[in-house]
Every structure is written in C-alpha cells, then in structure tokens.
Structure 1
Amino acid sequence: MRLIGFTAEDGERWIAARDGDKARPLAPAGAFYADARRYLDRPTEELVDVASLDLAPAVPITARIFCVGINYRSHAGESKELAGLDEPALPMIFGRWQQSLVVEGTPVPAPPNEAGLDWEVELAAVIGSPVWRGDEATALDHVLGYAAFNDLSARRKQLETPQFTIGKNADLSGPISEIVTADEVGDISAGLRVTTHVNGELMQDGNTRDLIHTVPRIIAYITDTLTLQPGDVIATGTPGGVGAGRKPPVFLTDGDEVVVTVEQVGSVRTPIVAPRD
C-alpha cells in the first residue's frame, strides 16, 4: 500500500492510501500512527482525487527524523576529505526536524550564504510501532514502510563546526516521497538501488548492500537509549557522489531539478529556486 499525507481544511494532517490518481482517507495522522495496522487492514470506501488534496509528508507532525551520517562505504572517502571524519564504528546519528520535510515538487530555496544545496539520496524507514531495546533479529517488525528521501544539505553551514544540525535543517530541505508499506517493498537485505539525477544527469548510483550499518542495527543502536515512536523516520545515509565531493564541487542552484529514487520504493522530484529575500 502507498501512503500519502494531506492537510485537511481544519489544518489537521491526515493519512490516506493512494491508488493511482485516487486516495482513500484513512485517519488523522495521530490516530493512524497510534494503531496503523487497524487502518491498513480496514481502509475506508471513500475515494477522493489526489489532485484535490493539499499534500503533506505522510508522517505525524510529532515525527522525529534520525539521520545516519557516513553510512555507505562509497561515501566514507568523500567524508574523510571533506570533514576529516573516519568511517564510523557505530551509527553516527544527527537530527532533523519534521518542519523541514516537504513533498514531491515543492520548490526548495538555496540558503543565501551557500554556494547552493547538495543532494543526498537516502532510503528512509518509517517506524510503525514503539521500539524500546530493539534487537536486530526483530527490529524490522517495527517498520511500517519505506520512503525515498533527499537529505538536501547546506554544506557551508554543516562543515563550519562539528555539529551538523543547522546545515541539515535548512527551510524545506527534506523532500520525502510517499511511504510504501514494508510488505510491498519486501526483503531490503537483498539490496535496493539508490540514485540521484540532477537535470537528467546521473550523479549518484549506489545500493543499500553498501550500508555500513543496516536498518536493524540502527534501530537496535538507537533504542537502547530512547524509544522510537510510531511515525519516526530513520534516514539511512547516502552513497558516494555528493556534489561537495566532486572536483570542482557542484551544487544545486536556481533552475536546477533533482530527482532521488529508491528501487521498489519510489522517487521524489525537487525544483531548486533562488534564495528568499
């Protein structure tokens, strides 16, 4: 099942099941994530046109986004040169705010004091049930589904200090696709191809088989300290081929279009626009 979010007329975020150009509203996001299985097993009969909806990310506004840095072996060399960081022995977690998430087609402005934004295609896992002290053997039982995610990065701000937070939370800089439920994606351990195209040109081409820390390992690592809640998102990192690692560097500026794709999950397309006044 494909899940989309939308904002109702009263401002509340809802989750719907998408079927082509139609959708079945399921429940307000808070209620949906409190008992996702109930709503997935008994979808409503109501059908609405997707084009009539004010689309929003298919996660609750309380969602936390846990990003994993330097989590592809093919990206480790770039990171060493850019930030002096070695391949991490443990998952390197930093946070994004839900307010940075946007949907397909949302124009994203480059921050005014950056050369542009950098792209990062990522497989995102969306949590469907609470996880405390999860273990690797059963961790994926708590995953509702997966999305394609573009961790658009303000590299100047990111690399000025050892803390990534500001550079990873530029306004509107978290494009995320619809969520595909885990049963439809299947066994992610077999590997999923992940790609980035900028203005039609292939810039990143990796596979989740290259992950240093797998999704189950990341879940286990996080949850011996804090409880993952339904609707939380884990962005699992990006492969080599980011713009800052190129010679010379290449960044996204006004007029560019970037598309990130995760095999069996989907794509998210983002136009880049000029900095805001």
Structure 2
Amino acid sequence: MDNVTFYLMSGLLFSGTAILAIALFPVWKLTKELPPGSARSLWNVLTLLILFFIAGYITYAFVNWRNCSSLSELLVPGVFLGGAVFVLLVCFLSFKTVIDLQRINILEQENISDSLMGIFNRRYLDRRLKEEFLRSQRYNLPLAILLLDIDRFKTVNDTCGHQTGDLVLKNLAQLILSTVRDIDIVARYGGEEILIIMPNTTASHAAVLAERLRHKIAIAEMATQDEESCHPAIKITVSIGVAGFSHGQTTAADQHTLIKNADKALYQAKNDGRDRIVIIGADS
C-alpha cells in the first residue's frame, strides 16, 4: 500500500509541476504582447509566483516522500494538482483573450481607417460629425470644420504617376496630423479632400489653424526628387473651406448643412485663385 501511495503522490506532484511549467509558456507569450507598464510588471510577478510554486511542489515531494502511509496523504498533492490546472487554464484563457482583443482592435481600426492615408475614413467621419454636432447643440458649444482640397492634384498624378500621388496623399495626411490638436478628428472626405472636425472651436479660431496649415503645406516637400524619372521635389498648395456653428446661429441646422457650408467656402476658395482659405459662419 505504501508503494502505491508513494507512486500516486509522486504522479500527482509531478503532473502538477509539469502543468505549472506549461503555464509559463502562455504567460511568457502574453508578457511579450504587452507594452512596458504596470500590467506587464504584474504578469512578470505572476511568472515568479509560478516558479515559486514549482519549487514548492518539488520541496513538498522531497520532504514527504517517506511519509506516504495512507490514501489520505494524497489529499494535499491532489489539491496541488487542481491548483496547477486552475493556473494553467487562467493563463491560457488570459492569453487567448488578449489575442482576440488585438484582432478585434485591428478589425475596428481597419473598419474606420483609410488604408492609404492612415486617417479616419468617410464612414467614421459621418458618425463622429453627427455626434459632435449634437454635442455642440446640447451643451451650447461652438463647432468648426475644415474642408481641404489639393490644388491641381490631377497634374501630380498625370506628371509623376499615381504612386507618387499616393505618396503625396500619405505625407499630406501626416503633416496635418502633426499640426492639428489631439481632440481634432482628421478624415478622408473623398478623393484628395480631407475634412477636419474641430470640437469646441469657433469658426474664426478654426480659420487661424487653417491658415497655419495652408502655409505649412505650401512650404513642405510632399515627395522628394526622383532621379530616375527626373521629377523634381513635389510641392503642393491647398484650398480650405472653413465653416462653423455656434449657439444661436441659424446658418447650420444640422451636420449636413455644416458640410454644405464648408463645401461652398472651398468652392469659393478655388474660384478666387486657390491656395487660400475662405470662411462661412464666422462668429462675431
């Protein structure tokens, strides 16, 4: 009986130790997925605890290997095995949850982002503009939008090719993102048109940013010189329509009217000679 009990206890403890060792793998993989910070540090602490438990299992087996006289002695090793299984399940489920959340986040980003320019797409823009307009009405906050269009962009595509044109669009989007505020929403409106939502901003303040943005774009190189095709460094200009909504104004009944006003302002900027801003709905 003693030999049977000894082998059973050894089997339980060995299995528990092996399961804990296996649990280290998902913990290690999960730790690699996490950015440096408190969460990653806590998972490192869990790794140390699992190693401590492994050492405890081995120590328990070494201390009690001669004291196996009855089946009741198997209670503690059995609990140890159950604890090891629990740790393994928690670690694997945690790792799987993190991976699934990452996949969901990637799908959400792909669903709301423009793959070429790296900014939000039209679907997300429509939803956010409606939300911001309703928020502006509810809390009596100003709201402004900028509608930006590249001047004579077709010439860039015809002269330098569509790949160069795509590069210009990417660089333009990055320049805009580096210029606007964190709370502003930048989205591709269509073609080479970009719309910027500026919450809690009056039209006149938005016009100041629009002018600064227009100037930065005008002096920036959107594509470097291509020696093979003999294309010089590419610079572009933009026309920007600015429209705003403030409490008490009737010029923008909804978000669609706000966009229509910005489009009118952009059209006027184009007609007035391009490379300029025009504002509609300025506050006094």
Q: Relative CO higher for 1 or 2, CA cutoff 8 Å, sep ≥ 6?
A: 1
Q: What range is the shorter-chain TM-score in?
A: under 0.3
Structure of larger gyration radius: 2
The TM-score normalised by the length of structure 1 is: 0.24
Higher strand share: 1
